[in-house]
Structure formats: structure tokens, C-alpha cells
Structure 1
Amino acid sequence: MTSTPQAAAGPMPSPWKLSAFWFGTAFLWLLLLLILMPGDVQHFVGERDKGKYLGLLGGLGAAVALLLPPFVGAYSDRIGKRLPLIRLGLAVNVAGLAVMALAVQFLGGLTGFWVYALGFLIVQFGNNYATAPYSALIPELVPREARGRYSGVMGTLQASGQLLGGVTAFLVGQFHVPGFLSYALIAAVLLISAGVTLRGVPETRLPPRATSGTGVSWAQIRTLFAHQPFLWVFVTRALFALGQYSVQPFMRYYVEDVLHAPNPQTATSLLLMTIIVGAICTTLLGGRISDRVGRKPVIYVAGTLMALVALALLAAPNFGVALALALVFGLGFGAFTSVDWALGSDAMPSSSNYARDMGIWHVAFTAPQMVETPQGALLDYGNHLGGTQGYTIVFGLAALFFMLGVLLVRNVPETPTGARSDHGT
């Protein structure tokens, strides 16, 4: 085992500047996936086929997010550069938003849908192209003893970006803002936040490698997962993501079918914003606590809280009680988010492959998005049996996933503060 010096000499960048890009990314995905795309797809294909075509878009996007980051990360490691690739991905992302906006403004029917789908795939490609090298910055620039604080700031800005997205969605609906202006606003927020990161973070000083290609071999993946800290961090992150995506896509249906809210869209927006407010309250605190007591105790509390609330929501007698439970869920979710990046950064086996390995780690969050299709089928099956049994199944599975994550995170070996490993993969 050999020690590797930090890639960028000098003082650490501000955690707020380093995390600013994640604010814009969170704003983009909340507003795009949960608000704009469902309405736009319905505009193109009509009421009858909206679910099928929206699911198709989601599946195509998830495939890009699943496959691209490890390869871009490997290329970033090989050339020893991060920021130029982030800039390129950002430009492609904005170009994709422009294509989507033009399709909404000037096209209709299936022709408009396929142009819109092309724009969405360009957005996915550009954003994930930028995310791969960006993901390497925390493990590369921040020593282990400060990663909890940096991860907490990142979680705070992620939740703040989502909150701004929720508020923006509410205003867009109230004032009937034209679709193309919404896409222009997303691009503006993304560019400003990314600009803060690009100006506030030093370029890495990694030497380019002599190897060619950007491939990720099965041998490299097997070696990576043979590293026990990475294996268990990957598994537990995937379980928490499975819990999240078991419930999140069906929140509006839950508000309508279980809580019987008179205005489901507004009620769902309030529920989501309450969760985000709760998350903001614990992201900074959880990260700082994890630097002192370790990552795993924070995960134990956060995951247990989220599992209990997932079950309690099924018994909520009215919307007011559901809002209170949503706040508690947000407290747990924020605490988990506050240590998510720190836990992943600590588990990296080699400082020479940060971008590639963080890209593979990110798959633990993107791949579980595909659970939406089978969970949707379970929801319909249960509800067809009578009452709201479908929600009992789906929310119960979410609680199970959260608790499995809590139990299995115990397998993540504790790494002493300041320890570093560098055995190549």
C-alpha cells in the first residue's frame, strides 16, 4: 500500500463553491422530471398514452445515466482533467434543454414527442457526462476528516435546489408561464450554479496516463467490488435508493387515493416541499456529526426514521398528519444525504481512479430508478384486490429496503480518520 498525495495542492476549495453545481442539477431534475415532463408528454401524445410514453422516456434516460458515467470517469482519470469535461457536459446539457423547449413551443403529436425525446436524451448525456468527473472532486480535494462537512453542504444545496424547483413549479402553475420560459430558467440556474463551481474549484494536477481508451473492463469492476468498503457502500446506497423510488413516483396518487385531497397537484407539491424543508434542517448537522462519530451511526438513525415514516403514512388519517410525517421523513432523508457523498468517498480503493470508481458508485443511485415499472404494477395489482392494498405493498417494500440498508451498512468497515489507501484497480 502506498500513499498518494492530494491531487490539488494548496487550500481546500470552499464547500459551498464545490457543491454549487449540485444545486443547479437538483433544480433541473426536480422541475424537469416531476413537473414539466409529465405535462409535456401529455401535450404530445394525449391522455390515453401518457403513462406509456412517459415511462419510455424514463427508461431511456435511466439507461444513459446507468452506462455513461463510468466510461467518462475512466477517460477523465486517464487524461488527468476534470473541469474541461464538466464544461463540455454542461454545454451539451443546455443544448438538450433548448431542443426540448423548441419541441414544446413549435411541435405537436408524435413528431414533437420524438424531437422532445431526443432533447431529453441530450440533456441526460450532457448532465451525466459532467457528473462523472465532478463526482471525483470531493474524494480528490477533501481529506477524509472534512468530508462529512463537505457532504453535508452538498446535501444542503441539493435540498435547496429541489426546494427552489418546487416553489418554481408552484409559481409556473399559478401564473401559467409558457413552457419554453421554464426551460430557459432551468438553463440559467444550471449555468450560474455551475459557473460558481468552475470558478471556485482548482483544476486537478493529475499526470496523464500512457494507457489508451476509455473502457471499463469486467476485471476492473470485479476488483473494485472485491474491495469490501466499496461493495457494502454500493449495496446500501442502492437499497436506500430503492426505498426512495418505490414511493416517490406515486406520491400524487397516494395524496389522491389515500388522503383524498381536493387538489392533488397542490397537495403533492406541499408534501414534497415539506420533505425538502425537513431535509435542509439536518443536512449540515448530520455531516458535521459524522466527522466526529462516524458515518454509520447517522445512517442507523436516518434509515430507521425513514422506514417508520413510510409505514406510518399508510395510517395517516388526514393531510395535516401526512404533512407532519413528511417533515419527519425529511429529517431522516436529510441526515442520510448529509453523509452519502462522504461514505462513498471514504470507500474509494484507489486515488488514481476516483472519477471512474465514483461513476460506478453513482450507478447505485441511478439503476434503482428502474424499480418504478415493477412497483407501479404492484401498486395496480394491490389496488385491484380492493381498497388501497397497493399502497400497503409499495410503502411496505420501501420500509423494508430502508431497514435492509440500515442493517447492511454495519458491514462497511470503519476507516480511521486520515487513512488513505491506494491499491490500484
Structure 2
Amino acid sequence: MTPASTSRPRVSPWVLSAFWFGSAFHWLLLLLILMPENVVTFVGEDRKGTFLGLLAGIGAVMALVLPPLVGAHSDRTGKRLPYLRMGLIVNLVGLAVMALAASALGGMAGFWVYLLGFLLVQFGNNFATAPYSALIPELVAPGERGRYSGVMAMLQALGQLLGAVSAVVIGLLKLPVLVSFVLIALLLIGPALVTLRGVPEPDTVVPRPAGGPTMSWRQLFAHQPFLWVFVTRVLFSLGQYSVQPFLQYYNKDVLRQSDAGTSTSVMLLCIIVGSIASASLGGRISDRVGRKPVIYVAGTLMAAAALLLLVAPSFGAALALAGAFGLGFGAFTSVDWALGSDAMPSQSSYARDMGIWHVAFVAPQMSSAPQGALLDWGNAQGGNLGYTLVFGIAAVCFILGVILIRNVPDTRRAAA
């Protein structure tokens, strides 16, 4: 065990990662179901890709800047949970503003209020999760991080599963949009309370000198394990955000589904069931054979599924491919957090460094704006060219991630 991990009692992986369950439910229902539907009501069909990409891109700026700053402050105070509490409150306020805009306003005025609410959501959620992200590397020994990361991935997948099921039910019952926002708020609060009550917080600042000095940003990126984990995570995230924001539009325009919201939820269910099947297993396997072999298989499977979705002959075939993508995504997610935790060079700055590493996940969200414009331009040329371009970009990013992950030293196996 590391010095940091012995400073507090052992915590159940289910309690430690409970908030990730609520956050996963929150983001699936918000990003993949509500926001695409709401944007169309604000700006219409012709500009939906551009404005959805703009919304996601502007929100990503908040997620890009905040985590390293909040993480560094958390390292100085030695506290993690107060940030989760405060961030949760701001997150809930932002959801309320978005709900107001979506249910009571319209047109471009409604869109700008909706954007304000989304910025509050991004601020609150990132304020909460930046210090929270430090708990696995801080409390868990390297030899167990694969298992803990697997539990975290499974809880995230279960949160997404519940979000997709909820979206299907809400769509079938034609419930008002306000119901979805209230449900998101409730499912965010409950798991947060489990983590807040179950993870002990020290009464005083935890001394961290034993973990080594805090590195500058330049020194951090000169540390080879961190550098290549950062680069490969950027690539995998670029692949994800080339497709994810536009999945509902793909169902409508390519698969010709009359109820695109419900069919997207069904497709997400297939992805999530596949990811649940592989999440815990991938983490446990990585504790035995190393992280990289799992990512090789997962990334290749994700790239193949993204390309084959372009030629899926039917909705049923697309669902099968979605399940295959989920198998790869679940395995990747289970290993991703463990690989990132292994790459942290200094125990004295876990939250700041995890916040910087988290930038590799959120910064690619900024590509949603040009990707949305590319989607609209390509589709205007005919033949659903826009979808060919963005899905093709996703596959290329996944393959590059698989190739470059070879450069990541397996610090876990070396330590063993």
C-alpha cells in the first residue's frame, strides 16, 4: 500500500464509486437524449448539428479549465468531499435553469438561457469530480486498481443503463421534459449521499510530502507514462465525441427511425449492456496481464463497429453492432481509470494531476462544434456524407489510440 492509501480506512469500491453512477445517469440522459431534442425545438432541423456542437463545445471549455485548478486547490487543503458537496449544489441549480428554458421558453432566447444552465451544470459537475477523481489513486493500492476501476466502470454502465431505460419509458409515455430533469436531479443526489457518507474525510489536512514533490506541468508531461496515457485518452475521446452527440440524428437520418429519441435509447441500451458485460472482467484481467492488452482488443472492436454502422442494413443490425461497440467500450473504460492512476507520478498532487489527465477526456468535446458543422455540410452534399465523415474520423481515432498505447510503460507490472 502507498502512504496515501493507508491514511484512511479501506473503503468499499461500490461506495467509493457510487457518485459515478449518478453522474453517468445524469450525462447520458442530458447529453444523448434531452439536449439533441431540446436543441431542435430551439433552432430547427436545418441548424441542429451546428448548434448542438456549439453547445457541447462551449460547455467543454468549462470542463477543460476547471478540473486542474480545483484539483490543485484540493491538494493544498487535503480535502476532497467538500468540493463534491458544493459542486453538486451548483450542478442542481444549472439543471433547474435548463429545465426552465426547455419547458417554458422557446426560440433563440430560450437557447441562450439553456446554454447558461448548461454552463452551470458543467461548472458544478467538474468542481465536484476533479477532487473526487483523486480518490482511487489516493486510497487504492496499485495491485487493486484494476478491480476498483472495473467496479467504477460497471457502476457508470449501470447508471447509463438506467438512463437509457428511463428515456425509453419517458418517450413511450410522452411525459413532459420537466420530468426528465427532475429524475436526473434525484438520481444525482442519491448516489452522492452514499459516497459522502461512506468515504471518511480527515478532520485535518493530510500531509503529502511522502508522496514526492509536486511537479510542474512541463515535468508532468515529460513523465512518459503520463504523457502517453494523456495522448491516447485524447484520441479515444475524440473518437467517442465524433459520434456520440449525433447518435439521435443518425437514427433519424440514416436508419430512418420515426421515433428517433426512443430508437436511440434502445441503441444505447445495447451499448450499455455490452459494456456492463465487459467492464468488471476487463479490470480484473488487467490486474493480471497488464492494461495494454485489454485496450488493444477494446479499441479495435470499437473502430470496427463505428465503420460497420455506416453500412448497417437494418436497425436490428445496427443494434448488434452497438452491442459489439459496448463490449469494447466497457473493457476500455474499466482499464482506462486504472491506467491513468498508475501513471500519476506524485502522490502529493493526485487531484491536480488527475484533473489535468481529465482534460484529455473533456477537451475533445470541443470538437463537437466543428464536427457538427462538418455533419451539416456533408449531409447537404447528399448521400448522408456527413455521417460517413464523422464516423470515419471516430474509427481513425480509435485505431491511432490502439497503436500509440504501445508507448505507455506498464508501471503496474514493473512495480510488481
Preserved CA contact (<8 Å) 2:307 2:392: yes
Could you tell me which runs of 5 or more consecutive residues in structure 1 were left unpaired when the two chains were aligned. Answer: 211-216, 421-425
Residue 90 of structure 2 corresponds to 92
Aligned equivalents of 1:223 and 1:331: distance in 2? 36
Of 73-82 and 395-404, the range deviating more from structure 2? 395-404
Q: How does 1:15-94 map to 2 (within 5 A)?
A: 15-45=13-43, 50-94=48-92
Preserved CA contact (<8 Å) 1:12 1:141: yes
Residue 353 of structure 1 corresponds to 349
Residue 134 of structure 2 corresponds to 136
Aligned equivalents of 1:45 and 1:312: distance in 2? 31
Residue 311 of structure 2 corresponds to 315
Aligned equivalents of 2:158 and 2:269: distance in 1? 10
Deviation at 1:54, TM superposition (A): 3.4
Preserved CA contact (<8 Å) 2:49 2:375: no
AA in 1 matched with 2:188: L
CA shift in 2, pair 1:224/1:250, >3 Å: same
Aligned equivalents of 2:67 and 2:412: distance in 1? 29
**CA displacement 1:335-356 (0-9 Å, x = unmatched):** 0011111010000010000000
Q: How does 1:61-210 map to 2 (within 5 A)?
A: 61-204=59-202, 206-207=205-206
Preserved CA contact (<8 Å) 1:7 1:206: no
Match of 2:270 among 248, 263, 274: 274
Deviation at 1:206, TM superposition (A): 4.7
Preserved CA contact (<8 Å) 2:299 2:399: yes
AA in 1 matched with 2:22: G
Tell whether 2:392 aligns with 1:396: yes
Preserved CA contact (<8 Å) 1:279 1:330: yes
**CA displacement 1:292-312 (0-9 Å, x = unmatched):** 111001001101111122222
Residue 410 of structure 2 corresponds to 414
**CA displacement 1:86-116 (0-9 Å, x = unmatched):** 1111111112222223344444444443333
TM-score normalised by structure 2 residue count: 0.92
Deviation at 1:413, TM superposition (A): 0.6
Aligned equivalents of 1:200 and 1:131: distance in 2? 16
Aligned equivalents of 1:33 and 1:376: distance in 2? 14
Preserved CA contact (<8 Å) 1:95 1:123: yes
Tell whether 2:286 aligns with 1:287: no
Could you tell me which runs of 5 or more consecutive residues in structure 2 were left unpaired when the two chains were aligned. Answer: none
Aligned equivalents of 1:399 and 1:134: distance in 2? 31
Deviation at 1:380, TM superposition (A): 3.9
Aligned equivalents of 2:266 and 2:172: distance in 1? 14
Residue-pair matches, total? 411
CA shift in 2, pair 1:263/1:187, >3 Å: closer
Residue 342 of structure 1 corresponds to 338
**CA displacement 1:140-185 (0-9 Å, x = unmatched):** 0000000000111111111111111111111222222233332221
Deviation at 1:285, TM superposition (A): 0.4
Residue 253 of structure 2 corresponds to 257
AA in 1 matched with 2:175: V
CA shift in 2, pair 1:391/1:95, >3 Å: closer
AA in 1 matched with 2:93: A
Of 45-54 and 290-299, the range deviating more from structure 2? 45-54
